[in-house]
């Protein structure tokens, strides 16, 4: 019988510092979070405080793996607690401050109280979008108890099965825990043990938080050494809290479960007691400095975790993945934290990020409008970037803590860099002397999260117009030159060519990945495949010199899709064709109410419709005609022109006759590209016939749009999921002059057609040479559909509306690809970056090969065939672009391939 394990997590204001953990703990039976409230990271005996008595916390430290450099992402209790229980950054769950913008949290008029409650309800609605630790554990049979501080109202909102809090701002009846009693916890534990039910306890006493009213004996003890009575009372509350920790540890001993109990300790935010009054000093709570963000963290499980200390970086966002892994529970995709009991993961993570917001929110929906600072720490360096440094629209200085010096630095947008190992009190800003470090850290910070410049609240861009209907065609494996309008002289695509002639053709459009599923994930989420966690097609598992990186095999429920957002805004939503992001039965969970032809394979149709193109077109047409009142979003990801190479007999016979009539070719039919041979000419009849079927599918759907009378107010997009198949599986097409094809990060593998028709917005017959990518399509759909960018989702795409309207351009940016896998077409693990800067933005392209760490540099404007590697001629440019690529990987948590102990050639 598996022994029972209780997981006690004592959370004190900060994140978890990584350490050299022992082997991962066995699955945990029970979980207890103990969360200290407003405590400085030095205010413990074991951390060297000369006066404080914390014998029980000191005992915990002796028996624990202690992380001395833990941090919370935000130095304010409500957002910090929300991040602990969800494992998400405040800008994701949008609990960024303590209170909503309107109303009075302390009473006021009925109207003020009602406004405050409405604001809290809005905040809670955002919070409800994210699974919590107790809710995830409940799926595995856990009972859970909430006690102490809890800002989200009724305990059930956090996924707890029982609780003390019913609805007040801080936690109403729950705040008695620790201050007057511990009995509710002991009673709950006893009930669960009698029932044989695993349990989770949230113990978050409002200690040492004010009121600083410890027993008189504690005040008297500290009065002789403290700077003032206010400091003595604060110290007394710390010892008071320490005693409750001792009570809890003793209870575990009495119940004989101490040896099977994992104890984790962290706090919600820091505190520097003001000697002059009951408030805290500046540079602590609410600030981006160590006094507000840092905390020790301890992991204790006697006999399983070897006691010791570590100075590795960690964050309270690590709590959720650590606990879920310890309990053998399902892990939500995309959690930014690491399992602190995984020594390799802790050692690999060298950088953490965070953000500080206004105490009272400026806007409950858009975190960017309440942002005060962003910060990051890499190794010994800490960068703090105030909101004014990122442009106009930063929130006004709150003035809650009278700190004229910080206010001046903030308002003039002063960026600060500290060596927090040598200078943990952050007394010396060394940014001027380390411009390279500032530049590198700021690039990684922007890659992590950079909000849109704050602006007055209002509807989405383009508001005032009727939201457009949205029709998106996604071809499968169609190359950049596989259409008549993009340069093919053999393939015939009259309907698609007409679509391009009626709108804009992008000459430098890129797929998000050289294979299908990751690009599809980027299209429906607006996020990079590496951020989503899907970096390969869903059944790919080839190995070689390296072991390919792990990846998700279904779109996570936590990902917010374009369809979900449009559906919430009133659009009817339908998808018809190849989903390839997980089981078809999951599609309805991602925002599509009407689904068709998603559970069939390419080439499996009847002789008159082998690629299901006609069936897909009929379903999409019926959807459009039945929703002609609009608005609607119709997504048509076709199976064409994926292998197997099959086409209707009549079209195949016609294309064979045309191929036979082609003049004799003077040059070679195939060319050598690396270790593969690539097709150099477009003349394969069956592929030409398949493209004809694809064109007919598009024509049938567009005809339905005309019949419904909605063509004039519908944005139509046509693109492909990756480059053409030119090196394997029959090599049916040629991408020349582009190099390689599907499965490779050279231009032939990622350059795709992109056509956009939007009557009244896009001038017919226009072209655009700006490099754009799949994620931009998602952002454009939201813009055209009248849906504001969701502030809790870090979209990687940019709306193309300025380019489509001809009214401007989009901000130059790096485009990045991450493919840590072996493709079926011969591609090997690699990454690439198309530079958004330089003399000609969008020309310099870096390709990194993971097997041998080789770096190549190409000018893809002058050399689209990538035949001339410039790396040896421009080493500094290579170094700069590679540093940006590495920083981007760190920022999004991109997974890398590993050494293969049994390499395959």
Asked if the structure places residue 126 within a domain, the reply is no
DSSP one-letter string for 413-465: T--EEEETTT-TT-----GGG-HHHHHHHHHHHHHH--PPPP----S-TTBTB
Would you say residue 78 has pLDDT above 60? Answer: yes
Q: What is the pLDDT of residue 602?
A: 87
Region for residue 674 given its phi and psi (left: phi exceeds 0; alpha: psi -120 to 50; beta: otherwise): left
Confidence of residue 466 (pLDDT cuts 50, 70, 90): low
Would you say residue 31 has pLDDT above 50? Answer: yes
CA 336 from centre of chain: 7
Among the listed residues 774, 780, 775, the one whose alpha carbon sits nearest the alpha carbon of residue 750 = 774
Asked if the structure places residue 563 within a domain, the reply is yes
Tens of pLDDT, residues 52-62: 999 999 999 99
Cis peptide before 650 (omega within 30 of 0): no
Asked if the structure places residue 449 within a domain, the reply is no
Asked if the structure places residue 827 within a domain, the reply is no
* Angle at which helices 229-254 and 183-195 cross, to 10°: 20
Mean pLDDT of the 452-458 span: 36
Between CA 446 and CA 361 the distance in angstroms is 22
Confidence of residue 462 (pLDDT cuts 50, 70, 90): very low
CA 602 from centre of chain: 32
More confident residue, 71 or 728: 71
Confidence of residue 443 (pLDDT cuts 50, 70, 90): confident
Q: What is the pLDDT of residue 399?
A: 53
Sole residue written with tokens 């022992």: 22
Q: Are the CB atoms for 538 and 551 separated by under 8 Å?
A: no
43, 304, 365 from 78: Cα distances, Å: 22, 33, 16
Between CA 275 and CA 225 the distance in angstroms is 13
Q: Are the CB atoms for 485 and 755 separated by under 8 Å?
A: yes
Which residue segment(s) compose the domain that 286 sits in?
Answer: 6-73+132-342
Altogether, the residues listed in the chain come to a count of: 905
Mean pLDDT of the 292-321 span: 92
Asked if the structure places residue 475 within a domain, the reply is yes
Mean pLDDT of the 874-901 span: 94
Asked if the structure places residue 488 within a domain, the reply is yes
Report the percent of the chain where pLDDT is more than 70: 93
Between CA 199 and CA 246 the distance in angstroms is 20
Mean pLDDT of the 672-686 span: 87
**Is beta strand 381-386 parallel, antiparallel or unpaired with respect to 416-419?**
antiparallel
Q: Are the CB atoms for 353 and 376 separated by under 8 Å?
A: yes
Q: What is the pLDDT of residue 793?
A: 66
Among the listed residues 449, 483, 840, the one whose alpha carbon sits nearest the alpha carbon of residue 692 = 483
Between CA 185 and CA 203 the distance in angstroms is 8
Asked if the structure places residue 440 within a domain, the reply is no
Final residue before a domain boundary, out of 766, 786, 811: 811
* Range in 233-242, 444-453, 671-680, 834-843 with the lowest mean pLDDT: 444-453
Final residue before a domain boundary, out of 789, 811, 833: 811
Mean pLDDT of the 752-775 span: 95
Q: What is the pLDDT of residue 17?
A: 33
* Range in 244-253, 308-317, 802-811 with the lowest mean pLDDT: 802-811
Mean pLDDT of the 637-661 span: 95
Among the listed residues 87, 105, 266, 221, the one whose alpha carbon sits nearest the alpha carbon of residue 159 = 87
Mean pLDDT of the 271-298 span: 92
Q: What is the pLDDT of residue 261?
A: 79
Region for residue 475 given its phi and psi (left: phi exceeds 0; alpha: psi -120 to 50; beta: otherwise): beta
Q: What is the pLDDT of residue 464?
A: 41
Confidence of residue 403 (pLDDT cuts 50, 70, 90): low
478, 598, 608, 695 from 701: Cα distances, Å: 19, 17, 18, 10
Between CA 326 and CA 534 the distance in angstroms is 24
Asked if the structure places residue 882 within a domain, the reply is no
Token pair recorded at residue 164 = 């003390």
Sole residue written with tokens 């941090």: 71
**Is beta strand 766-768 parallel, antiparallel or unpaired with respect to 772-773?**
unpaired
Confidence of residue 72 (pLDDT cuts 50, 70, 90): very high
Would you say residue 306 has pLDDT above 80? Answer: yes
Final residue before a domain boundary, out of 298, 314, 342: 342
DSSP one-letter string for 614-635: HHHHHHHHHHHHHTTTS-EEEE
Which CATH number characterizes residue 478's domain? 3.40.720.10
Q: Which segments of 528-628 does DSSP mark as H helices, in order?
A: 529-532, 562-568, 613-626
Q: What is the pLDDT of residue 540?
A: 67
Mean pLDDT of the 165-193 span: 86
Between CA 641 and CA 431 the distance in angstroms is 54
Q: How many CA atoms lie within 13 A of 665 on its CB side?
A: 11
Count of structural domains, the chain: 2
Mean pLDDT of the 460-468 span: 54
More confident residue, 278 or 697: 697
**Phi/psi at 163 (5° precision):** -175, 165
666: Cβ contacts below 8 Å, ≥ 6 apart: none
Cis peptide before 631 (omega within 30 of 0): yes
Mean pLDDT of the 288-314 span: 92
Would you say residue 18 has pLDDT above 60? Answer: no
Would you say residue 168 has pLDDT above 80? Answer: no
Q: Which of the listed ranges 602-606, 841-845, 878-882 does the model predict with the highest average pLDDT? A: 878-882
What is the sign, positive or negative, of the torsion defined by CA atoms of 177, 178, 181, 182? positive
Among the listed residues 327, 296, 315, the one whose alpha carbon sits nearest the alpha carbon of residue 142 = 327
Would you say residue 456 has pLDDT above 60? Answer: no
Q: Are the CB atoms for 200 and 134 separated by under 8 Å?
A: yes
Sole residue written with tokens 């800002």: 151
Tens of pLDDT, residues 477-489: 999 999 999 999 9
Between CA 544 and CA 301 the distance in angstroms is 39
Between CA 209 and CA 150 the distance in angstroms is 14
Between CA 526 and CA 115 the distance in angstroms is 34
Q: What is the pLDDT of residue 675?
A: 74
């Amino acid at each position: 019988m598996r022994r029972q394990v209780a997981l006690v997590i004592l959370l004190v204001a900060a994140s978890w510092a990584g350490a050299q953990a022992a082997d991962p703990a066995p699955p945990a039976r029970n979980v207890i979070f103990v969360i200290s409230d407003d405590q400085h990271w030095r205010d413990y005996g074991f951390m060297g405080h000369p006066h404080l008595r914390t014998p029980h916390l000191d005992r915990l430290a002796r028996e624990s793996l202690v992380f001395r450099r833990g941090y919370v992402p935000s130095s304010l209790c409500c957002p910090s607690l929300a991040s602990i229980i969800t494992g998400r950054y405040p800008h994701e769950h949008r609990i960024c401050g303590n209170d909503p913008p309107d109303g009075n949290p302390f009473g006021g008029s009925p109207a003020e109280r009602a406004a405050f409650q409405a604001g809290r309800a809005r905040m809670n609605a955002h919070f409800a979008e994210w699974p919590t630790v107790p809710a995830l554990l409940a799926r595995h049979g856990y009972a859970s108890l909430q006690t102490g501080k809890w800002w989200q109202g009724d305990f059930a909102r956090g996924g707890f099965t029982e609780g003390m809090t019913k609805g007040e701002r801080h936690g109403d009846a729950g705040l008695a825990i620790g201050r007057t009693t511990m009995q509710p916890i002991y009673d709950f534990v006893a009930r669960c043990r009698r029932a044989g039910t695993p349990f989770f306890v949230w113990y978050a006493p409002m200690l040492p938080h004010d009121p600083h009213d410890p027993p008189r004996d504690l005040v008297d003890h500290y009065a002789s050494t403290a700077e003032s009575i206010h400091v003595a009372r604060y110290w007394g509350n710390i010892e008071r809290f320490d005693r409750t920790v001792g009570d809890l540890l003793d209870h575990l001993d009495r119940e004989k479960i101490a040896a099977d109990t994992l104890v984790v300790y962290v706090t919600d935010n820091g505190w520097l007691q003001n000697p002059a009054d009951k408030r805290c000093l500046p540079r602590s709570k609410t600030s981006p400095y160590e006094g507000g963000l840092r905390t020790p963290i301890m992991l204790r499980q006697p006999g399983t975790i070897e006691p010791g200390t570590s100075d590795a970086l960690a964050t309270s966002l690590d709590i959720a993945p650590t606990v879920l892994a310890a309990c053998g529970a399902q892990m939500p995709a995309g959690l930014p934290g690491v399992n602190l009991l995984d020594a390799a993961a802790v050692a690999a993570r060298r950088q953490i990020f965070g953000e500080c917001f206004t105490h009272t929110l400026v806007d409950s929906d858009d975190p960017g409008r309440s942002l005060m600072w962003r910060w990051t720490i890499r190794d010994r360096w800490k960068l703090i970037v105030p909101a004014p440094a990122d442009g106009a629209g930063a929130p006004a200085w709150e003035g809650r803590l009278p700190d004229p010096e910080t206010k001046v630095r903030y308002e003039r947008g002063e960026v600060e860099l500290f060596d927090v190992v040598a200078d943990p009190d952050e007394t010396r800003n060394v940014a001027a002397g380390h411009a390279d470090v500032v530049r590198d850290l700021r690039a990684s910070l922007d890659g992590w999260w950079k909000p849109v410049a704050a602006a007055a609240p209002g509807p989405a861009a383009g508001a005032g117009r009727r939201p457009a209907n949205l029709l998106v065609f996604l071809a499968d494996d169609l190359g950049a030159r596989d259409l008549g309008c993009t340069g093919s002289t053999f393939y015939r695509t009259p309907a698609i060519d007409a679509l391009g002639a009626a709108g804009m053709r992008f000459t430098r459009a890129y797929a998000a990945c050289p294979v299908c599923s990751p690009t599809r994930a980027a299209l429906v989420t607006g996020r990079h495949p590496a951020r989503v966690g899907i970096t390969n097609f869903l059944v790919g598992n080839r190995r070689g010199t390296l072991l390919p990186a792990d990846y998700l095999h279904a779109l996570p429920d936590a990902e917010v899709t374009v369809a979900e957002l449009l559906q919430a805004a009133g659009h009817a939503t339908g998808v018809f064709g190849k989903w390839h992001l997980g089981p078809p039965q999951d599609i309805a969970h991602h925002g599509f109410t009407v689904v068709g032809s998603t559970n069939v394979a390419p080439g499996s149709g009847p002789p008159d419709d082998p690629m299901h193109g006609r069936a897909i077109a009929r379903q999409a047409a019926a959807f459009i005609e039945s929703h002609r009142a609009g608005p609607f979003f119709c997504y048509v990801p076709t199976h064409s022109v994926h292998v197997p190479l099959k086409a209707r007999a009549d079209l195949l016979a016609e294309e064979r006759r045309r191929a036979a009539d082609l003049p004799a070719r003077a040059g070679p039919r195939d060319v050598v590209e690396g270790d593969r041979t690539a097709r150099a000419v477009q003349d394969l009849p069956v592929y030409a016939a398949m493209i004809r079927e694809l064109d007919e599918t598009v024509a049938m759907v567009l005809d339905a749009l005309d019949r419904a009378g909605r063509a004039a107010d519908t944005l139509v997009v046509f693109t492909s999921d990756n480059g053409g198949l030119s090196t394997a599986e029959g090599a049916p097409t040629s991408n020349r002059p582009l190099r390689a094809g599907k499965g490779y990060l050279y231009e032939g593998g990622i350059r795709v057609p992109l056509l956009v028709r939007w009557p009244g917005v896009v001038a017919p017959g226009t072209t655009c040479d700006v490099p754009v990518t799949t994620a931009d399509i998602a952002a454009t759909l939201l813009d055209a559909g009248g849906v504001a960018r969701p502030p809790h989702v870090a979209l990687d795409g940019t709306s193309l509306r300025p380019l489509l309207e001809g009214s401007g351009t989009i901000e130059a940016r790096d485009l990045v690809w991450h493919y840590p896998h072996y493709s079926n077409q011969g591609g090997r693990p690699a990454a690439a970056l198309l530079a958004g800067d330089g003399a000609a933005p969008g020309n310099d392209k870096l390709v990194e090969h993971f097997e041998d760490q080789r770096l190549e540099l190409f000018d893809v404007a002058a050399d689209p065939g990538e035949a001339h590697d410039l790396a040896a001629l421009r080493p500094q440019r290579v170094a700069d672009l590679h540093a940006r690529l590495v920083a981007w990987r760190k920022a999004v948590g991109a997974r890398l391939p590993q050494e293969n102990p049994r390499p395959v050639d």
